Amino acid sequence: MDIGGTNMRAAIINSAGEILAQDRQPSHFSELPIDDPQVTNKTITSQICHFITKMCSKPNAPQQVGIGFPGFIRGTTGVLLSSPNMPTLNNFPLAEVISRETGLAVTIQNDGLCAAVGEYHFGVGRCIDESSLLHITLGTGIGGGLVLQGKPYSGETGMALEFGHIKIEATGLVCGCGSSGCLETRASATAVINNYQQRTGLKRQAKEIFGLARDADKNALEVLQQAGWFLGCGIAQAATLLDIGHYSIGGGLANAWLLLEPSIQNALGEKLFSAQRAQVHIHHSQCLDDAGILGAAMLALKCAI
């Protein structure tokens, strides 16, 4: 499953990564009241369990459940340390509760890490000659995940690779995380929409801005070029810190790949020294929207641990 604050998606996936059935439904979890955590958490868990039961009534009923979730998860315990958009779930043993109610083994991991595992096993990872891949998801915010020497890496407390919150400007825009100068304020879909609106006074969706850029609208082209350039700065920092050669980029904003890529390359050329530059390769995601759900399944099957 891939669970978000407003939608959730489930798929039945075999160990070869084939999607045998899939379904999606609205969740609206991020809009639930937070004054009574017990009631809210009961609403969230029963909606998830109901969706799982529905999937179990289909042919090839799942034997195990893997869930990608937007929050910090401590190791393989399935305990949510914190979930910024669903705060009632902080320190909540989500995997244990869902497992008890459904009778199935449940594995939960950060959604960005799941996407990295999916992309490593079934997408870009199959075409590279190294065993490490950093995956970046450009959506409303920016997520990240790392497969390091063949293993998913989530850090000591589950908070590694918060790629959207690495600092790319010493003094920059204020970010939703409370800090400022974060990559997310410059290279997410939200940043592109805001930047375009500031320049033109017009509120346009990211998809519309892609269309305008393809039609050579100067402002649309420049906001995408700027997003790509800042993303390249972020990747250069990761490359400097980790000495990893391959970076895959997915999420809605990556649909503008042909417009973003040259600016990402420009930033890498500017920010990396030449020996590093030759080793750093960027790739458009091959799994696209399926990266997270495929990775969640692989983690549940323990194929990726």
Residues at the interface with Zn ion (CB under 5 A):
165, 175, 177, 179, 182
As beta bridge partners, residue 66 has: 107
Burial of 149 (0-12, 13-18, 19+ CB in 10 A): exposed
Quick one: 46 or 179, whose CB is closer to Zn ion? 179
Q: How far is the CB of 167 from Zn ion (least distance, A)?
A: 8
Copy the structure tokens of residue 76.
Answer: 């393989």
Which residue shows structure tokens 């244990």?
96
Quick one: 98 or 166, whose CB is closer to Zn ion? 166
Closest CA to 235 of 183, 175, 181, 171: 183
Region of 288 on the Ramachandran plot (φ > 0 left; ψ -120 to 50 alpha; else beta): left
Quick one: 142 or 254, whose CB is closer to Zn ion? 142
Instruction: Report yes or no: 289 and 296 within 8 Å, Cβ to Cβ.
Output: no
Quick one: 104 or 182, whose CB is closer to Zn ion? 182
Quick one: 165 or 283, whose CB is closer to Zn ion? 165
Our measurement of the distance from residue 112's CA atom to the centroid of its chain's CA atoms, rounded to an integer in Å, reads: 4
Quick one: 124 or 175, whose CB is closer to Zn ion? 175
Q: How far is the CB of 132 from Zn ion (least distance, A)?
A: 25
Instruction: Determine the Cα–Cα distance for residues 128 and 132; give it in Å rounded to an integer.
Output: 9
Q: How far is the CB of 143 from Zn ion (least distance, A)?
A: 12
Instruction: Determine the Cα–Cα distance for residues 271 and 248; give it in Å rounded to an integer.
Output: 19
Kindly list the distances between the CA atom of residue 64 and the CA atoms of 56, 69, 107, 225, 289, in Å, as whole numbers in the listed order: 10, 16, 8, 43, 21
Kindly list the distances between the CA atom of residue 82 and the CA atoms of 70, 71, 96, 109, in Å, as whole numbers in the listed order: 9, 6, 16, 12
Instruction: Determine the Cα–Cα distance for residues 288 and 123; give it in Å rounded to an integer.
Output: 9
Q: How far is the CB of 159 from Zn ion (least distance, A)?
A: 13
Q: How far is the CB of 175 from Zn ion (least distance, A)?
A: 3
Q: How far is the CB of 184 from Zn ion (least distance, A)?
A: 5
Q: How far is the CB of 112 from Zn ion (least distance, A)?
A: 14
Q: How far is the CB of 18 from Zn ion (least distance, A)?
A: 37
Quick one: 25 or 179, whose CB is closer to Zn ion? 179
Quick one: 123 or 143, whose CB is closer to Zn ion? 143
DSSP string over 189-241: HHHHHHHHHHHHS----HHHHHHHHHTT-HHHHHHHHHHHHHHHHHHHHHHHH
